[in-house]
Chain A
Amino acid sequence: MSQANHSIPLGDKLWRWLVISLPYWWLAIFFLAPFAIVFKISFADPVVAQPPFSNFFDFSPGAESWLLATLDNYRFITEDNLYWISYFKSLKIATISTVLCLLLGYPMAYGIAKCQPGTRNILLMLVILPFWTSFLLRVYAWIVMLGKTGAINSLLLKMGLITTPIEMLYTDGAVYLGIVYTYIPFMVLPLYSVLEKMDTNLQDAAADLGARRWQVFFNIILPLSMPGVIAGSMLVFIPALGEFVIPSLLGGIDSLMIGRTLYDEFFINRDWPLASAVATVLLFIIVVPIMLLQSSQKERS
């Protein structure tokens, strides 16, 4: 090992180290450092000042202790139901949205993967196409569609199928719709890439050995597409969990997701320490399951 290193000139070695460490620097500067700041603030007390939180250290001579950390914020989160409710609501909405994305996205991805290569590219293009317009604009479009005097209600009224407009906007249903609509490409693309690479001989082999179509799906296709299912679910679940825009535009007053709570604590209540604590807990809610999942994946392979 050291033998090999000796033969590499110092300049090259430095360069190599720089290139390899670049992503780590990126993570350190743009993720770890801000998180460390948030983490630190979460142990402070709110004060009416600029910035609106107390100092972390107190080195003045008469101080009782030089460390002024407090767990009050975390304690408060556990005591006030509001936070539990919004965490739970977020988890519920993110989970159901992920499942819906999976149920809708899997057949889509499978269908695209089964197409001729030419058709395939057009269909993939269509999946990605919505990204070419602003996300906000697309969510606003749903307001126009779903509102009491919106396109869907007007059409149904005109056709005489309903007599009073259906309450669609500002409901949980609208939030699910918005999240599924926005995030489904993130589910379809990883699933497609797994399904497209799958050897069709495996499916023929299973059929040859006596498997019916549904058995081929559950014994062969689904287990082999699990990497895509997991990747897609992560890509939908994580942003959906912290989603702020969709519930605030499409959701009702009671659709209190954690993103909204965070926003309110920071900008309405100006309680930065509490907001930081909420953000820290959210991060652990996301990170811990992912780490567990990854370690189980590693064991399996």
Chain B
Amino acid sequence: MTAATDKEAPKLPETDFTETPWLDPQAAPFIQIKSLSKEFDDFTAVDSISLDIYQGELFTILGGSGCGKSTLLRMLAGFENPSAGQIIIDGVDISDLPAYDRPVNMMFQSYAVFPHMTVAQNIAYGLKKDRLPNAEINSRVQEMLELVQLQDLAARKPKQLSGGQCQRVALARALIKRPKVLLLDEPLAALDKKLREQTQFELINLQHKLGTTFIVVTHDQEEAMTLSSRVAVMDAGRFVQIGTPLEVYEFPLNRFVADFFGTINLFDATVTSSVQVDSCTHTIEAALDKTGTLVKADCSHQLNQGDIISIGVRPEKLSISQKKPRGKNLTITNGIVEDLAYYGNRSIYRVRSHSGRMIQVSAQNFQRTKELVLEWDDQVYLSWDSSCSVVLPE
């Protein structure tokens, strides 16, 4: 840097983009997917998708079955040829490269561990195909075995392993070639709950340690939420929203995302007034369709009176009480507890409001009590702050 530019440097503190490279205008994307499509005989599985992923990201593609996420992953791995578009990894167009020539490795949902090879042979397979000298293969296999803590099981056959151990073998086998990108197809789906939680943290730690870019495909929104740096929600072959888990959860772009990524109570409403608070906040008031209850909400853009919208509220943003709550900016409604599920740390209530709507509430069980705080058929008040209302286009 020259002295001249030093003087002109902005006084603002430098933003650190290492954790959020997608916000850095200077950052070059590591993986570029450019209007990628895949058409099968009678339908379009992936519909002109474009996406930039940055080095070191743990990027998750989330969607229901048949949304095209697996086809997208298979195109990245090289098992399917795109009908149109490009895939560029680290500046190289790999769209036409066969799977065996791509700097990409994959961990399969079923793990696809070779049943006739030992753990060590499985892990060594990729390096053997690259015709590396035996001494190097052995030392790298040893290194991988240590990384996934399978040193003692190197001579075992997959049949003698548990599901979690098979997953480690699959992971080590995919990582040993030091791929530029690791693809993971539903990495936690086949594990039981306790093991999932543990493995999830291990995966994140491993990713941090290696700095490899991970692309995860999953249908499980919890998996997507806990693992990812960013999530792309996919539906019918297209991305509906791309953002950090927090952005997608708290600021969903439409009803599909709001409903798919977590649980949400959705109300149809009509805008009655819209007031600009500052440059990027408008406070709107809307009347719910059946009852006319007025709901306040914050919105990032101008809406007109008479616009039809959906108001969404996440279950944990609602307060439930038997006494009528008071407060500014609160939307209050009442109803009867129709269903409740006690989870220990929290309870989930399904409340039938007086208009007949079913509203789901998730409440922490703050107090230690001998009996349930609220029972079936209790009359309750529900309330939420206007900042918790999500305004969604109809």
CB distance from A290 to the nearest CB of B (A): 22
Contact partners of B100 in chain A: CB under 8 A: 207-212
**Candidates A202, A209, A220; contact of B177 at CB < 8 Å:** A209
Contact partners of B77 in chain A: CB under 8 A: 204, 208
Distance in angstroms between the alpha carbons of A201 and B186 in the assembled complex = 14
Distance in angstroms between the alpha carbons of A204 and B115 in the assembled complex = 14
A209 with B126, Cβ < 8 A, contacts A201-B108, A204-B79, A204-B108 known: yes
B130 interface residue (CB < 8 Å to A):
yes
B112 interface residue (CB < 8 Å to A):
yes
Contact of A210 with B108 in the complex, beta carbons under 8 Å:
no
A205 interface residue (CB < 8 Å to B):
yes
Contact partners of A202 in chain B: CB under 8 A: 112, 114-115
Interface positions of A from 210 to 268, Cβ below 8 Å from B: 210-212, 215, 219-220, 223-224
A204 with B112, Cβ < 8 A, contacts A209-B105, A209-B177, A210-B100 known: yes
Contact partners of B130 in chain A: CB under 8 A: 210
CB distance from A190 to the nearest CB of B (A): 18
B209 interface residue (CB < 8 Å to A):
no
Contact of A223 with B108 in the complex, beta carbons under 8 Å:
no
B22 interface residue (CB < 8 Å to A):
no
CB distance from A173 to the nearest CB of B (A): 37
CB distance from B140 to the nearest CB of A (A): 13
A80 interface residue (CB < 8 Å to B):
no
B106 interface residue (CB < 8 Å to A):
yes
Q: What is the 8 Å Cβ interface bit string for chain B, positions 114-152, against chain A (1 contact, 0 not)? A: 111000000001100110000000000000000000000
Contact of A199 with B110 in the complex, beta carbons under 8 Å:
yes
**Candidates A199, A201, A211, A223; contact of B129 at CB < 8 Å:** A211
- A contacts with B: majority SS: helix
Contact of A205 with B108 in the complex, beta carbons under 8 Å:
yes
Contact of A205 with B177 in the complex, beta carbons under 8 Å:
no
- Count residues of B near A (Cβ-Cβ below 8 Å): 22
Contact of B129 with A208 in the complex, beta carbons under 8 Å:
no
Distance in angstroms between the alpha carbons of A220 and B116 in the assembled complex = 8
CB distance from B231 to the nearest CB of A (A): 24
Q: What is the 8 Å Cβ interface bit string for chain B, positions 88-100, against chain A (1 contact, 0 not)? A: 0000000000111
CB distance from A32 to the nearest CB of B (A): 36
Q: What is the 8 Å Cβ interface bit string for chain B, positions 210-235, against chain A (1 contact, 0 not)? A: 00000000000000000000000000
Nearest B-chain residue to A207, judged by Cβ: B99
**Candidates B106, B115, B126; contact of A210 at CB < 8 Å:** B126
**Candidates A209, A212, A219; contact of B173 at CB < 8 Å:** A209
Contact partners of B98 in chain A: CB under 8 A: 207
Distance in angstroms between the alpha carbons of A10 and B6 in the assembled complex = 100
Contact partners of A223 in chain B: CB under 8 A: 116
Contact of B125 with A209 in the complex, beta carbons under 8 Å:
yes
Contact partners of A199 in chain B: CB under 8 A: 110, 112
Distance in angstroms between the alpha carbons of A204 and B100 in the assembled complex = 10
Distance in angstroms between the alpha carbons of A208 and B122 in the assembled complex = 13
Distance in angstroms between the alpha carbons of A223 and B115 in the assembled complex = 10
Contact of B112 with A201 in the complex, beta carbons under 8 Å:
yes
A206 interface residue (CB < 8 Å to B):
yes
Distance in angstroms between the alpha carbons of A215 and B125 in the assembled complex = 11
Contact of A204 with B99 in the complex, beta carbons under 8 Å:
yes
Nearest A-chain residue to B157, judged by Cβ: A301
CB distance from A222 to the nearest CB of B (A): 10
Contact partners of A220 in chain B: CB under 8 A: 114
Q: What is the 8 Å Cβ interface bit string for chain B, positions 158-182, against chain A (1 contact, 0 not)? A: 0000000000000001100100000
CB distance from A15 to the nearest CB of B (A): 36
Distance in angstroms between the alpha carbons of A199 and B100 in the assembled complex = 19
Distance in angstroms between the alpha carbons of A206 and B108 in the assembled complex = 11
Interface positions of A from 73 to 116, Cβ below 8 Å from B: none
Distance in angstroms between the alpha carbons of A209 and B172 in the assembled complex = 12
Contact of A201 with B116 in the complex, beta carbons under 8 Å:
no
Nearest A-chain residue to B124, judged by Cβ: A209
Distance in angstroms between the alpha carbons of A231 and B319 in the assembled complex = 68
Nearest A-chain residue to B108, judged by Cβ: A201
Contact of A224 with B112 in the complex, beta carbons under 8 Å:
no
Distance in angstroms between the alpha carbons of A215 and B116 in the assembled complex = 15
Contact of A209 with B129 in the complex, beta carbons under 8 Å:
yes
A210 with B114, Cβ < 8 A, contacts A205-B108, A215-B129 known: no
Contact partners of A206 in chain B: CB under 8 A: 114, 125
Nearest B-chain residue to A210, judged by Cβ: B129
CB distance from B152 to the nearest CB of A (A): 22
Distance in angstroms between the alpha carbons of A202 and B129 in the assembled complex = 15
Contact partners of B104 in chain A: CB under 8 A: 208
Nearest A-chain residue to B179, judged by Cβ: A208
Contact partners of A208 in chain B: CB under 8 A: 77-79, 99-100, 104-106, 174
Nearest B-chain residue to A204, judged by Cβ: B79
Distance in angstroms between the alpha carbons of A212 and B129 in the assembled complex = 9
Contact of A205 with B129 in the complex, beta carbons under 8 Å:
no
Contact partners of B116 in chain A: CB under 8 A: 223-224
Name, among A205, A219, A223, the residue most crowded by chain B CB atoms within 10 Å (CB to CB): A205
Contact partners of A207 in chain B: CB under 8 A: 78-79, 98-100
A205 with B106, Cβ < 8 A, contacts A210-B129, A210-B130, A211-B100 known: yes
Distance in angstroms between the alpha carbons of A223 and B125 in the assembled complex = 15
CB distance from B184 to the nearest CB of A (A): 12
Contact partners of A201 in chain B: CB under 8 A: 108, 110, 112
Contact partners of B112 in chain A: CB under 8 A: 199, 201-202, 204-205
Can you report 14 residue pairs joining A to B where beta carbons are below 8 Å apart? A199-B112, A201-B110, A202-B115, A204-B79, A205-B114, A207-B78, A207-B79, A208-B79, A209-B100, A209-B105, A209-B125, A209-B126, A212-B100, A224-B116
Question: Which are the 7 A-B pairs with shortest beta-carbon distances?
Answer: A210-B129, A209-B126, A201-B112, A205-B112, A207-B99, A210-B100, A201-B108
Other A-B pairs, 16, CB within 8 Å; known A199-B110, A210-B100? A201-B108, A202-B114, A205-B108, A205-B114, A205-B173, A207-B99, A207-B100, A208-B104, A208-B106, A209-B105, A209-B173, A210-B126, A210-B130, A210-B177, A215-B129, A223-B116
Interface positions of A (Cβ within 8 A of B) = 199, 201-202, 204-212, 215, 219-220, 223-224
